[in-house]
Amino acid sequence: NGNLESKIDFSKDIIKDDKKQFILIDKSTLGHLGVYYIAIEENSYFDKIKELKVNIILFFLILYSLISLIGFYLAKLFLKPIKEEREKLNNFIRDTTHELNTPITAILMSTEKENLNEKQIQRVRLSAKRVSEIYKDLIYIFLQGSDENKSTEKIYLNSLILEQLEYLEPLASKKKIKINTTLENFEYLINKDDAIRVINNLISNAIKYNKISGQINISLKNRILEISDTGIGIEEDKLKDIYRRYYRATKEQGGFGIGLNIVSHICAKYNIKIDVESKKNIGTTFFLSF
């Protein structure tokens, strides 16, 4: 048995003794030189197995940590657009509430008085128009998917622009804004309500974001409608986002970021190309090519 202290069962090829050590049995000698079995005691197997167990555990811990980090990153990445849209929607609701609150309050305050002077009556008209425009924009946004079967007709855009200028004139007068027009006769096949939404949003924006005593120039010739203002302008890096729903390039004036989204949607629907040029504190010009 050499240095082996325990009894060995030579019928097995590998045995484990009381000290939890492996003993390998070799029977290939076949009694040569009087040697029938070779027994080798191996002490390193348990250490290797223990080391292997530790390595496996460490590997799975590292793998689990890596998968967790990747999962966390992907979850954050996928949830980011949802979070951003929720924030936009919250801002939209807040801004809409504010936009409605101002004209409604003005109407209520004016109607509480028994005898209204011309200035107060004008304030009620302006407030009522503002509420009406907000309502029409909201209706368009929320019913956008159900407007495919709207009837179209040939409309003289020059006449429609003059009609809407008469409607929006009190808003311009309040800021002492001068509006210049150069309009050629031009007929286009379009739904009238859609055309009004485009014209009203572009002109009301030119009024809203203009300076006191500013100017608006409206030109319609060679199938191109050009609306320019002398307002606060838009920063160049923000121009690419102005047609996104709920996006607002500035917080300086009221609004809730759906007007230009509506304009863009309608223009795409009727194959009208829309372009914009703007310089900060100089003004903005929109071009509609029919």
Q: Are residues 197 and 249 in the same domain?
A: yes
pTM of structure: 0.64
Q: Are residues 259 and 155 in the same domain?
A: yes
Cα 112 off chain centre by: 42
DSSP state of 211: P
β pairing state of 14-16 and 187-190: unpaired
Q: Are residues 97 and 192 in the same domain?
A: no
Angstrom distance (rounded) from CA 245 to CA 267: 15
Both tokens of residue 288? 């509609």
Domain residues for 197?
149-289
Q: Are residues 174 and 258 in the same domain?
A: yes
Report the domain count for the chain.
2
- pLDDT tens, residue order, the chain (290 aa): 445 555 666 566 666 665 556 666 666 666 666 666 666 666 666 667 778 888 899 988 898 888 988 888 888 888 777 777 777 777 667 667 766 776 777 777 777 777 777 777 777 887 888 788 888 888 887 776 566 667 899 999 999 999 989 888 888 988 999 999 999 999 999 999 899 999 999 998 999 899 999 999 999 999 999 999 999 998 888 888 888 887 776 666 656 678 898 899 999 999 999 999 999 989 999 999 99
pLDDT at 1: 44
CATH number, residue 279: 3.30.565.10
Q: Are residues 279 and 207 in the same domain?
A: yes
Angstrom distance (rounded) from CA 16 to CA 157: 99
Beta bridge partners of 287: 226, 275
Establish if 11 belongs to a structural domain.
Answer: no
Q: Are residues 240 and 278 in the same domain?
A: yes
Q: Are residues 103 and 176 in the same domain?
A: no
Last residue of a domain, one of 121, 142, 163: 142
Both tokens of residue 12? 């097995």
Share of the chain above pLDDT 90, in %: 32
Q: Are residues 138 and 158 in the same domain?
A: no
The DSSP code sequence of 50-90 is: HHHHHHHHHHHHHHHHHHHHHHHHHHHHHHHHHHHHHHHHH
